[in-house]
Amino acid sequence: MEFSAQQIADFLQGEVVGNPDIKVNNLSKIDESKVGTLTFLSNPKYTHFVYDTKASIILVNKDFLPEQPISTTLIKVDDAYQALAKLLHLVDSSKKQQSGIDSLTFISNSAHIGENPYIGAFSFIGEKVKIGDNAQIYPQTYIGNNVTIGDDVTIYPGAKIYADCAIGNRCVIHSGAVIGADGFGFAPNDNGGYNKIAQIGNVVLEDDVEVGANTTIDRATMGSTYIRKGVKLDNLIQIGHNVEVGNNSVLAAQSGIAGSAKIGENCMFGGQVGISGHLAIGNNVKLAAQTGVISNIPHDATYMGAPAMPYVQYTKAYVIFRKLPELAKSVDALKKEIEELRKTIH
């Protein structure tokens, strides 16, 4: 499908600067652009590509002022990155969804499947499962007994949802994800071993949650592990039992949240962040990559380092840390001078 600059601008409520009739049929990165494609500029360090790009249309912020002549057509919008997201969503939603239930799927007689489903081959749907409308369930998915799944949910190949868990509307669960495995609960016994503590709770994913590939979310010992509305979890994340992740928080890959930790709303965690158990992380908290948290963090804070400390404090400490080799040499030199002085005194 082709769209003109004016059609795209109308959709995005933007302004055309250049030829409103020029058409594109694909998207491209600004540093790998081709004729007939649309690209975007949101990061200032890529600005130099604007002046020699081959793309036919460029999305830019309204405050963009070119410093050189530009031969391509611009569409000025409030936020180029968000505008691109809208276009990508439009392209993705225009793809034809699969439909029908494969003959090689096992579905319990007591399960209820909503309207317009797609269920791929070798999927298993257990007893008393309830699945809403427009489900896209890809091959080799496992859905355990008593699971409830809302409308417009997509579950990619090989995902596993254990018994009694609840999935909200418009959730996306990627390949290899495991929802509802046992929490890590063991009690030491008199023989030096460990007795398993039964994990009888579940996992609740509220609406609009996305779970990345090979991410695991453990069921609660009692009650529920909650992933609240709008949360986005990257690949390879571990969420422990009885954790709660607040609305619209985003966690990058390889982060780990230990049991019973409470994460606030609108938090942003970089890759490999680690949170100890039973901690409370406030709303609007930002944690840099590889931050290790061992105590509670208040609202609206930015932390980094392991153990974690406030961002400003960490950067000041890091300046000193980088100078440690020089400081060590200075200390050694001072020790030698002191020894020499002692020798002269005695």
Task: Please enumerate in sequence order all residues whose Cβ is within 8 A of that of 322, keeping only pairs 6 or more positions apart, or say none.
Answer: none
Say which residues have a Cβ less than 8 Å from residue 16's Cβ, sequence separation at least 6.
5, 6, 9, 73, 74, 75
Tally the C-alpha atoms within 13 A of residue 103's C-alpha that lie toward its C-beta: 0
Which entry of 241, 278, 299, 346 is annotated as an active-site residue? 241
Known active-site residue 299: no
Separation of alpha carbons 15 and 77, rounded Å: 7
Neighbours of 29 (CB within 10 A): 12
User: What is the distance in angstroms between the CA of the first residue and the CA of the last residue of the chain?
Assistant: 93
Task: Quote the CA–CA distance of 257 and 281 in Å, as a whole number.
Answer: 11
Q: Are 25 and 36 in contact (CB under 8 A)?
A: yes
- Angle CA 117–226–148, to nearest 5: 25
Question: What per-residue string of b and e applies to 226-247 under the rule 16 or more CB within 10 Å gives b?
Answer: bbbebbbbbbbbbbbbbbbbbb
Name residue 249's amino acid.
Answer: S
Amino acid at 78: D
Pairing of strands 309-310, 302-304: antiparallel
Instruction: List residues bridging with 60 in a β-sheet.
Output: 76
Which residues 6+ apart lie within 8 Å of 139 measured at CB?
102, 120, 121, 122, 123, 157
Which residues are known catalytic residues? 241
